[in-house]
Amino acid sequence: MHLLYESLQPHHDAHKEREGDIEEKIEEDEEKPINLAIVGRPNAGKSTLINQIIEEERFLTGPTAGLTRDTQSVLFHKNTHTYRLFDTAGLRKKAKVVHELEKIMAKEAKRAIQYAEVVCLVLDATMPLEKQDLTIAHHIIEEGRILIIVLNKIDLVEDLNATLKEMRLRLGEELPQVVGVPLVHVSALSGRNVEKVFEAVGAAYTTWNQRITTGKLNQWLDAVQHHHPPPLSKGRRIKIRYMTQIKSRPPTFALFVSQPKALPESYLRYLKNRLAKDFSLSGVPLRLLPRGGKNPYAPK
């Protein structure tokens, strides 16, 4: 089983990398498959979804929960990209402590997320959204991976519009870290809407790789701060002096702030929302890192 990962490198956390290295890697990566992990509770339809995508009865499916025991992968070509799809074992069902990832998620499934650029969290539309689904979703976002929610078994849902509305509302409330988590509704069994999964993956992947020029960012930052200034701290207005994108995958921005510790979370959230809207960065995790000190990039 572990052989599967031997040829793979974990997806780099580019925090540790310099900017130049990342640019090079992105070019290289165009040749490499995009790793896409399919995770979710037992019986959600993960294996059925992959079989439908690759149009082959490759993986074992059935009504018994826990059919898939190990992570398995298959290569798939779509829209000029090659994907390596990872089918994973369902999350453990009877976990009492639902906020502890180790308890609900098999090690292998967690590992698949670590290696993936994109993770589809498959939910059974006939079952209520549970705490453990959200724990996994949080984990995927924190890891900086692209999260796509795939609402499956819509053939069994009576009022699809109401179900989707409710789901969008819950996701917005529960996952505020991402502005507009992509939600695709499918029937893995009949194939309905399955092609939409790759539309969402492709769009999010492009966004995840996006780079915005420093010039544009700072023009934007001036306008935003003018319109909605950060609050006062110790009698002085907090000021964000400068902003630059330090990496992509996921898009990460350094903010040079006059009193970085005093900048409230709510203001960062406001900035993130505006950034996502104004630069079309919805649907992927964005990181804003407030820093103190002088802007090292400022012209002398």
Binding site for Mg ion (CB under 5 A): 46-47, 67-68
One-letter identity of residue 285: P
In the complex, which residue's CB is closest to ligand GTP? 90
Per the document, the length of the chain is: 300
Is residue 85 within a helix (H) or strand (E), and if so which, with residue range? strand 81-87
- Token readout for 26 is 């992105």
Of 61 and 73, the one with the shorter C-beta distance to ligand GTP is 61
Euclidean distance between CA atoms 36 and 18, whole angstroms = 25
The least CB distance from residue 261 to Mg ion, in Å, is 47
The residue range among 73-81, 100-108, 133-141, 181-189 that interacts with ligand GTP, by the rule CB under 6 A, is: 181-189
Applying the rule CB under 6 A, the residues between 198 and 257 that interact with ligand GTP are none
**Concatenated DSSP letters for 203-268?**
HHHHHHT----HHHHHHHHHHHHHHS---EETTEE--EEEEEEEETTTTEEEEEESSGGGS-HHHH
How many Cβ atoms are within 10 Å of 205's Cβ, its own excluded? 20
**104 lies in the binding site for ligand GTP (CB under 6 A):** no
Euclidean distance between CA atoms 7 and 210, whole angstroms = 27
| 101 close to 110: Cβ distance less than 8 angstroms | yes
The least CB distance from residue 68 to Mg ion, in Å, is 3
- From the list ligand GTP, Mg ion, none, pick the one residue 45 interacts with, judged by a Cβ distance below 5 to 8 Å according to partner type: ligand GTP
The least CB distance from residue 144 to ligand GTP, in Å, is 25
Of 66 and 292, the one with the shorter C-beta distance to ligand GTP is 66
**65 lies in the binding site for ligand GTP (CB under 6 A):** yes
**61 lies in the binding site for ligand GTP (CB under 6 A):** yes
Of 109 and 286, the one with the shorter C-beta distance to Mg ion is 109
- From the list ligand GTP, Mg ion, none, pick the one residue 62 interacts with, judged by a Cβ distance below 5 to 8 Å according to partner type: ligand GTP
Q: First CA to last CA across the chain, in angstroms?
A: 56
Using CB under 6 A, pick the residue from 34, 35, 37, 48 that binds ligand GTP: 48
How many Cβ atoms are within 10 Å of 162's Cβ, its own excluded? 10
Of 63 and 299, the one with the shorter C-beta distance to ligand GTP is 63
- Which residues would be at the binding site for ligand GTP (CB under 6 A)? 40, 42-48, 61-63, 65-68, 89-90, 152-153, 155-156, 187-189
